[in-house]
Amino acid sequence: MTKRLIFLGPPGSGKGTQAQKLSEHHQIPHVSTGDILREAVAQQTSLGKEAKDYMDKGELVPDTLILNLIQDRLSHDDAANGWILDGFPRNVNQAAFLEELLIKLNQNADCVLNLEVPDDVLVERLLARQRKDDNEETIRRRLEVYHHNAVPVIDFYHQKQTLKTIDGNQEMEQVTKSLSEAVS
Ligand code: AP5
């Protein structure tokens, strides 16, 4: 059965961790815009060179860099039977673009999963992880950017009745269980 899932949630809420588990379980690609961008930065591609400063500062990369990337990725053969989007859409413009793209691809998102975790827990998790953008200043900015954009995106999906909110402030296995129940 196809599964097309969108993961929403603040930095550190466990989107990447949980998307990877569900992707393995359902044998569908885990499409993380953050991972794609970090790979581009590491490879020093033109995308990576343009994205790097934004990422280092905790700002969103301009939509112009992201939209084509998503269109290409979801058009791959391996995404025909499902996918998990992690880190996209990040704002209403991206959400509206995705709606139109899915119509073109004759696909529907089955479920939008919104992981909720309090900010103080997020900061603690991210400081412990120590990715390049996991320093206190950048984390604070990533959280501000997230909170600024999240409400309209959540409203967008709430109106479509595809949104399910999951408590991400639980043991990892318990979060996986809650997500699996939500998508079954
Ligand atoms: P992105 O890579 O998407 O980063 P993020 O949203 O900041 O998310 P994180 O990877 O920090 O957190 P996560 O929710 O995936 O949590 P994780 O599972 O890793 O984006 C990075 C940058 O790229 C952005 O700032 C932006 O510049 C750019 N970008 C990306 N997409 C974009 C877009 N669409 N448009 C524009 N710009 C874009 O877990 C975090 C830590 O917590 C881990 O150490 C994990 O082990 C731990 N953890 C997870 N779950 C639990 C749990 N239940 N209990 C305890 N610890 C846990």
| DSSP per-residue codes, 116-184 | E--HHHHHHHHHHH--TT-SHHHHHHHHHHHHHHHHHHHHHHHHTT-EEEEE-SS-HHHHHHHHHHHH-
State which residues form the domain around 126.
3-179
* Total number of domains constituting the chain: 1
Q: What's the CATH number where 39 sits? A: 3.40.50.300
> Is position 15 annotated as part of the catalytic site?
yes
Question: Side-chain half-sphere of 139: how many Cα atoms within 13 Å?
Answer: 19
- Domain contains 9: yes
- Which atom of ligand 1 approaches the CA of 145 most closely? 25
> Is position 141 annotated as part of the catalytic site?
no
In order of 42, 71, 109, 163, the CA distances from 160 in angstroms are 37, 22, 11, 8
Positions in the chain whose pLDDT score sits under 50: none
Pocket of ligand 1 (CB under 6 A): 9, 11-17, 33-34, 37, 54-55, 58-61, 66, 87-88, 90, 94, 125-126, 129, 142, 172, 175
- Domain contains 184: no
- Domain contains 55: yes
- Domain contains 27: yes
Contact (CB, 8 A) for 51 and 61: yes
How far apart, in whole angstroms, are the C-alpha atoms of residue 13 and residue 19? 11
